[in-house]
Structure 1
Amino acid sequence: MHLFSHDEINLLEAAQDGQLEFISNQLISLSSKQLQDACKKTDYYGRNALHYAAYRGHYEVVEYFLDLQCININSKDNKGNTALMLACVRGYNQDIASLKKGSKFDICSLLLERGASLQEFKKQGINNPLHWTCYFGDLKTTKLLMFVEPSLMLYSNDRDQFPIDLALMTGKELDDRGEDEKVLEFMILKFLAQYLDNDEHKKKLELSLDEHESYRYLQQSNFNIKSSNQLAQVGLRYLFWASTLGRLDLVEPLIRCKYSPFEPSYKGRNALHAAVYHNRKELVEYYLESESVKEFREGNVINRMTKVKPQTALHVAVERGHIDIVKTLIKKGADPNYYNFRNHRAFDQSRLTEIKHLKRELLNNSEKNYIRSGYNHVLVGWQRAKNQLLEQQFYNIQQKKNFEKGMFKYLPIESIDKQYTYYCLKVDEKLKNMIADETKMMIYNSREACLCPFNIQIQEQFENFHHIHDQQILQTLLYDEFDIDQFINDGLLIEQYPLHDEEEKELILKFWRNERFHILFEPFQLTRSQSRTFSALSSYFGAEIGMFFVFLCFFTTWLFLPAVPGLFIGIFHFINGDSINSVAPIYTLCMAVWATIFFEFWKRKQSETMYNFDMHVTKEQRRTIPQYKGAFIIEDVTHTIEIMDTRNVQWKYFKSNFPLVLIAIIFIGGEQFGYYYLKQINEGEQFYDSLWACVLAFSILITNEIFNFFAKHTLNYENHQYQDERENVYILKVFAFTFLNSFGRLFYRSLIRPDSEELDLLSISFTITWSLVHLIRYTLYPLISFAFIKIKFNWDFNKYKQNNSKQLAVAQRISVYDTETSAINKSVDKGLSTLYFLSQIELNSRMIDPPNHVEQFTYFMTQFCMATMFSAGSQIIPIAILFFNILNIEGLIYGYRKFVKRPLAEPKKSIGVWNDILQLVGYIGIVSNCLSIYQANQTQLNSLIGEDPNASNDQTDLGLRNFLFLIVAEHIVIGIKFVIEGVIPDEPEWVELILKREEFLSDKNKTKKGEQSKIIEIKTKKE
């Protein structure tokens, strides 16, 4: 008789379903050989009938197969799981509540009695059976495994989780906190008794009569500790969880065994953090006051930060709202001025009223100013008599939603030259909460540990607003009433800008000084970024500027890879030009590969930065252009009314771009003709060759600026509707001309009429000249210019004070303009200096505008092109770019902190179209490098491939051979490029996991809200 004539898989299905009678009837008539073959049948996953019976918790089926003795009890599936392991992973059928009835324990006990082994699970990097029993909160099975093999508690999985770490994990299918804590307590007691030889806890773990009966057939293994280091790591983990339980009786023995409560343990947190988080005040006082812990309290241990998501114990206490513990920590020396991973100080992050009162009590800081009190945004108008329309808009904003008195304020201040009026705006915290709730602004929820839509009903769970949130709220409030861009375009307003906050700027400088060297080498570590400089830049200046600095630092770091070998090649070339002939072509081809790897890792860094800046949940706002002219039309698909430009788009672009093309041809052709003419005057003289190369570099910069001017003016004719659309068109025009204008001569000398010496001279001359000009233009010149601006400002302001000396006492009083009663409100913001505030507004208004990001990116993309495509000409180009980039980073950071006007913070998820340009340059670099080697560096190529000295050396044959070689090399490099693109994911694994978690929590909250809405609807219908 043949078993299951159609498919042996029926046996496995029957084992899964627990159909013992069916299995018995099918197997009873088989011969011994047929029985052995039938039981050994496995499926695609390598699992046999015993595996499935144990996995689904069918005790009788497991016992039946064990009695047959036809299946190896320790056989493994394709993932290395035995029947015992599968029973621990699941061990139940349909109803998870059956776990509480002991089905898993019975099966595991049976398997262990019959010889199931735990030895193969005694290794690091995998989940062992004890991990799963702790995860399910199965105390009986945990005791069983610990009786047989207690050393299982010493092994962690691939996520550095020990079995005990899974006991209190939230979000489990069977989430029973009481049972989980019992498992946790037992594990700690077992560790104390087994490994620390504590007699008191050994007595607590003595087996009951029932347990003696259950374990009498089981064999215990000998205790074995591989290293004291391993035991120390595990001990710290058990101290952490003992602190979580708040059990002083479990903590004290661990302290006596020299486990420090201040050493990092689970996820970089220590026992003090655990006690603070779970409001275990007794333990917190024990750690900070007890003589037993005195030896561990050396140094600044109370302010130690967690490794993951850095924050101090005081941050944790404030976040959780544990007032008594906050007082204790402050009393014992906790510093409230540390910044956490969200760039908040401890007391600044909480919205709780009790915490705010406590902050005033403990930190009696009487120093105040208008900016810190909320007046941090300025609209600049003409003389006040001409601003009735603007002030009417402010009045409308207050009346629109019946705001409470004082929730929206504006303070009009006359400029020192009497020509302008500064309208300083302030939004009260209540109004901020209302706007954030209405717009569902994504704010970090400290309880959920993720970004969530702001909910005013549970506002205490959300962190305080950052600068970027304040700006978004204010812009929403203003744009809902009137279009600021239109007002500026019509001349009703001059400009708007946020005021600088000196304390926040010093924070950025502090982060940069501490992290500058770490930031430059961080990309090579291939780990999650821990630096806070960029997050501080983003929250203060906006994501666009933060992303720019991330790109600049990342690009500079990656230049180290080609710069170091390029420097050595350049030195050897200077000593002996022929010594590098065989190395230079390889270096040039490697630069193309470098460009690809750089771009792939930049995409990962960009994804990480997008998350760090909270941009992954933010929509980029599309600002309309006031000058846009369109007509109402009915959209063909949706049949909605839209405003669109009805002119012929192709003709419109042709008319605007044709003059630009002519200008580009004239500029590029004129430069090349002029350079050729100058070169002929003193041909062959090294000094003049270098001079004319520098002159050509300067002329390229000048023509680039002229072209940019014309390109910007053509945008008005093209009539773009959105700012981002117009900016992308402008970027493409500017970069296309800059690329052709900058590298036209280099391509000519590398591909059309090859000349390796001139190519070398031009490439290095261009690089150094452009770098010097950029450094002077964006760092040195603004610095000197602002020094004179500040001198002029001090002169003007001192003169203003002298002219108004009689009214100085009045000017220093409080003068907050109440927009509801049109009167002076003297009870608000007492003690603030109007005169000092005016000086800050005036100085901010005179600051230098932020550098144009299109020009900045164009310059650095030009650098990238030079390094990628023309390193064949000069291998020292990367080191030169690296040197000037380091100077640029320092200069730009200093400039933004000292003299650059603070821009409006705009959400930005990436560097946009520049990513496409980077990828395009990578492809061009591969082709141009290969052609450049072939055309301009034949000698180096012959040296690399080899040249027969006895042959006739026919140049035609050598050229054909070299050409074929480079064709092969080009295809290999392109192949490597595609392989790299496929192998390196665009998002780091940890970002993917966090995004999945946030998506899960978002769906969970939506489901919860939907259920609540249904309940409300049902109640409403009943009523």
Structure 2
Amino acid sequence: MDRSRSARLAKSSWNRGTCQCCLSNRIQPLVVIQLDKKILPETKKWLISKIQEAELLVHPGEDDEGDMILLSISHCTLLHSAETLGLSKIYHNGEVMPFSITDRENFSNAANDEEFVTLAEKQYIIKQRLDHLKTVEEESIPGWPMNKKILKGELIFRKLVKQGLVKKVYPLHDVVKLKAFATQWYTEISLSIPTDDIHSYFGTPIAFYFSFLVFYTWSMVPPAVMGGLLYLMPWDSLIGYITLAIFNVIWSTVVLELWKRRSAELAYNWGTLLLKSNFEEPRPSYWGPLGKNPVTRRQEPYYPSWKRKVRMWLVSGPLVCALLGLSVMGMVAFFWFERLMKYYYKQTPCLLTLPLIYLPSIVHTLYTDLMNRFYKGIAEILTEWENHRVESSFQNFYTLKIIVFTFFNSFAVLFHIAFFKQDLQLLQKRLASLLIVSQVINQCTETLIPYMKERLFPLPGKNQSKDDPDIDKMHYQGQMTTCAGLFGEYIELFLQFGYLSFFSCVYPLTGALLLLNNLTEIRTDALKFCRIFQKPFAVPEANIGIWQTAFEMLGLVSVISNCFLILMLPQMTTYCQNNEIDNKTVLFLAFVLEQALIFLKIIIAFGIPDEPEWVRIKVAQIEFQSFQALKLQKQGL
């Protein structure tokens, strides 16, 4: 068979669907299903017939015997799905309104799939329909062992993935669209990124992450400047350190409140601010005996909440505590190693032994990073085993586990050094090691190593021309590194925010070092998503979710940290001795300052509205119009 001829996608091979208004001369492949290479033709035909039941357009790939199935979606299916998801689109008057298929004539570009629904939304809708495809009756898979049946109401694709018939499902890149904005994104040295293009192509989660990263990087300029000036000053000013500590507390509050406003603006413009969060569909991996949902009256798995709580409290909780114990052991080993190296340096002080003083911090930084990576996998396994019904619940509990462990694993040593050992020199050395070594590790593992691997050992089919078969290009995309999500990126920013808000009053260069890191992080992360990673599916989101709460909790803890770190400054000790101020008075003043700053944070948080006035008015107008439409509908009945 002539491969180059057979690899071209014949238009006649696409199933045309049942709706005549959806017929089109051009169908764009959007998603690929990679099958087991030994799949039989009858098995593939059966799978194609099942996919058609999800109202998707299907292409068999090269031929009926190939290991690939291509998917697209019709116009009407897109419109119905957009309404079901609660996506908002541009109305004829220029406003952003929740889409209604009965009122589609009044939405701009509703007849044009390219303009009305983004590429990321199309691919997510296809994935969602695949994940929730169920069998009506128990049936066997043609060409597959008879004992591997799909039970009534069972999720088809979950079963096929588990049995190894489906190897992977991945969305396809649109090379033309990506090239239009990608080069500007990761090559230009600026703090401006094509946010709307990122949203349209990669979806709201990645767009929100990069928007937050740029916003956060801009916000680090003031603390970086203040810290740099304080560090370079030839005199140690107690007032300067106190001012920087108070500034950090106010800065962290203002930045997070302003981000809420920015987040609301972006969500409104992207049509996700009013996403329907009620009656979420069960996760594809959610399991349990079939029952009838009392709200939707549909058949779906049921798992008692008390069993989930038992698993969380009696298994997940103790196991997380055990892993925290490993973190404590690492901390104890660090302090022992630190004393040993100090003793050795005192015995033989010279330039050759000087680096040994920093060796314990470097080793513990590597250990901390290793533990964070190991725990991430354990947390995912535990959260999956807890069997959460909906995706939002799964993500919240998974993220919570990551946050708790990361906070303890990364900050316990620093708090111990600061508040128990009260060794500010060791704290400064430790911070310098974390800020430099951790950043180098992250940049190497996340970007440099995958990039060099791609350059030195390119995947088969990487360097293809325009005339090469489309199927070969799709096969190449399936071999690219799978995107692991945004947890690693958010955790990195979470740690940065903690270092800056907790300890920059004793190590003023923290802000400058983090600013320098993030200026490169914006570009290296962009390079990963554009050149190295397989294109990920993107769930529409209205904000950064639980990460907003996590950052706000760090801001609250920073009040206590900054107030009591000031007490341990040598300048404060000298000032108290010169003015005969006793320890009780100093502690009382620190407590008063702490309460005053917490009260100030509350005032700032309530004083800055979560949504801009214009967004608040738009949302109120949408809710009023929805109420009026519901009244008219009831009157008509």
The answer as to whether partners of 1:708 and 1:734 remain within 8 angstroms in 2 is yes
1:769 correspondence with 2:393: no
User: What is residue 372 of structure 2 aligned with on the other side?
Assistant: 704
Shift of 1:845: 0.8
User: What is residue 852 of structure 1 aligned with on the other side?
Assistant: 485
Distance 1:876 1:387 in 2: 64
**1:305-454 superposed matches below 5 A:** 373-383=27-37, 385-386=39-40, 388-389=42-43, 391-396=45-50, 398=52, 408-413=57-62, 421-429=67-75, 432-433=78-79, 442-447=88-93, 449-454=95-100
The answer as to whether partners of 1:631 and 1:646 remain within 8 angstroms in 2 is no
Distance 2:97 2:183 in 1: 27
User: What is residue 302 of structure 2 aligned with on the other side?
Assistant: 643
Shift of 1:905: 2.1
User: What is residue 167 of structure 2 aligned with on the other side?
Assistant: 494
Q: CA offsets per residue over residues 923-954 of structure 1, 9 Å max, x none?
A: 111011112222x31x22256xx4574x7x4x
The answer as to whether partners of 1:585 and 1:941 remain within 8 angstroms in 2 is no
Shift of 1:476: 5.4
The answer as to whether partners of 1:630 and 1:646 remain within 8 angstroms in 2 is no
State the secondary structure of the residue aligned to 2:302. strand
Shift of 1:677: 2.6
Distance 2:457 2:486 in 1: 23
1:468 correspondence with 2:120: yes
Which amino acid in 1 is paired with 2:498? C
Shift of 1:429: 3.5
The answer as to whether partners of 1:927 and 1:970 remain within 8 angstroms in 2 is yes
State the secondary structure of the residue aligned to 1:644. coil
Distance 2:121 2:325 in 1: 47
Distance 1:908 1:384 in 2: 38
Which amino acid in 2 is paired with 1:554? F
Distance 1:737 1:922 in 2: 18
Shift of 1:562: 0.6
**1:537-686 superposed matches below 5 A:** 537-572=198-233, 576=234, 578-619=235-276, 622=280, 624-631=282-289, 643-645=302-304, 648-653=307-312, 654-683=314-343, 686=354
Distance 2:83 2:318 in 1: 50
User: What is residue 908 of structure 1 aligned with on the other side?
Assistant: 541
The answer as to whether partners of 2:431 and 2:507 remain within 8 angstroms in 1 is yes
Q: CA offsets per residue over residues 589-642 of structure 1, 9 Å max, x none?
A: 221221111121121122112112211132359463455443467999999997
The answer as to whether partners of 1:942 and 1:962 remain within 8 angstroms in 2 is no
Distance 1:771 1:933 in 2: 27
1:994 correspondence with 2:618: yes
Pair 560,851 (structure 1): closer, same or farther in 2 beyond 3 Å: farther
Pair 510,786 (structure 1): closer, same or farther in 2 beyond 3 Å: closer
Distance 1:693 1:932 in 2: 21
Pair 623,887 (structure 1): closer, same or farther in 2 beyond 3 Å: farther
The answer as to whether partners of 1:623 and 1:724 remain within 8 angstroms in 2 is no
Deviates more, 1:875-884 or 1:488-497: 488-497
User: What is residue 784 of structure 1 aligned with on the other side?
Assistant: 452
User: Which residue of 409, 413, 427 corresponds with 1:745?
Assistant: 413
Distance 1:421 1:927 in 2: 59
Distance 1:400 1:849 in 2: 26
Q: CA offsets per residue over residues 839-890 of structure 1, 9 Å max, x none?
A: 2102211212224322221121011001011113301001101110110111
State the secondary structure of the residue aligned to 2:622. helix
Using the size of structure 2 for normalisation, the TM-score is 0.81
**1:712-731 superposed matches below 5 A:** 712-731=380-399
Distance 2:184 2:388 in 1: 40
Pair 387,583 (structure 1): closer, same or farther in 2 beyond 3 Å: farther
User: What is residue 536 of structure 1 aligned with on the other side?
Assistant: 197
The answer as to whether partners of 2:187 and 2:523 remain within 8 angstroms in 1 is no
User: Which residue of 565, 572, 578 corresponds with 1:941?
Assistant: 572
User: Which residue of 692, 698, 710 corresponds with 2:360?
Assistant: 692
User: Which residue of 582, 586, 594 corresponds with 1:962?
Assistant: 586
The answer as to whether partners of 1:763 and 1:873 remain within 8 angstroms in 2 is no
State the secondary structure of the residue aligned to 1:488. helix
If asked which structure has higher relative contact order (CA below 8 Å, sep 6+), I would say 2
Which amino acid in 2 is paired with 1:866? Y
The answer as to whether partners of 1:441 and 1:454 remain within 8 angstroms in 2 is no
The answer as to whether partners of 1:775 and 1:884 remain within 8 angstroms in 2 is no
Distance 1:441 1:666 in 2: 45
Which amino acid in 2 is paired with 1:493? V
Deviates more, 1:729-738 or 1:880-889: 729-738
User: Which residue of 869, 886, 896 corresponds with 2:502?
Assistant: 869
Shift of 1:424: 1.1
Distance 1:659 1:1007 in 2: 53
Distance 2:29 2:275 in 1: 26
The answer as to whether partners of 1:387 and 1:492 remain within 8 angstroms in 2 is no
The answer as to whether partners of 1:592 and 1:925 remain within 8 angstroms in 2 is yes
Distance 2:402 2:104 in 1: 49
Pair 558,424 (structure 1): closer, same or farther in 2 beyond 3 Å: same
Distance 1:631 1:924 in 2: 44
The answer as to whether partners of 2:291 and 2:302 remain within 8 angstroms in 1 is yes
The answer as to whether partners of 1:380 and 1:494 remain within 8 angstroms in 2 is yes
Aligned-pair identity (%) = 19
The answer as to whether partners of 1:624 and 1:723 remain within 8 angstroms in 2 is yes
Pair 434,715 (structure 1): closer, same or farther in 2 beyond 3 Å: closer
Which amino acid in 2 is paired with 1:451? M
The answer as to whether partners of 2:88 and 2:272 remain within 8 angstroms in 1 is no
Distance 1:704 1:507 in 2: 37
State the secondary structure of the residue aligned to 2:543. coil
User: What is residue 176 of structure 2 aligned with on the other side?
Assistant: 503
Using the size of structure 1 for normalisation, the TM-score is 0.52
Q: CA offsets per residue over residues 183-236 of structure 1, 9 Å max, x none?
A: xxxxxxxxxxxxxxxxxxxxxxxxxxxxxxxxxxxxxxxxxxxxxxxxxxxxxx
The answer as to whether partners of 2:36 and 2:167 remain within 8 angstroms in 1 is yes
User: What is residue 224 of structure 1 aligned with on the other side?
Assistant: none
User: What is residue 22 of structure 1 aligned with on the other side?
Assistant: none
State the secondary structure of the residue aligned to 2:363. helix
Shift of 1:507: 2.9
Distance 2:83 2:619 in 1: 23
Q: CA offsets per residue over residues 774-809 of structure 1, 9 Å max, x none?
A: 1111121221122245354459x89xxxxxxxxxxx
Which amino acid in 1 is paired with 2:251? W
State the secondary structure of the residue aligned to 1:579. coil
Q: CA offsets per residue over residues 22-64 of structure 1, 9 Å max, x none?
A: xxxxxxxxxxxxxxxxxxxxxxxxxxxxxxxxxxxxxxxxxxx
Pair 457,743 (structure 1): closer, same or farther in 2 beyond 3 Å: closer
The answer as to whether partners of 2:158 and 2:285 remain within 8 angstroms in 1 is no
**RMSD value over aligned CA atoms?**
3.5
Which amino acid in 2 is paired with 1:979? I
Count of residues in correspondence between the two structures: 577
Q: CA offsets per residue over residues 4-39 of structure 1, 9 Å max, x none?
A: xxxxxxxxxxxxxxxxxxxxxxxxxxxxxxxxxxxx
The answer as to whether partners of 1:633 and 1:644 remain within 8 angstroms in 2 is no
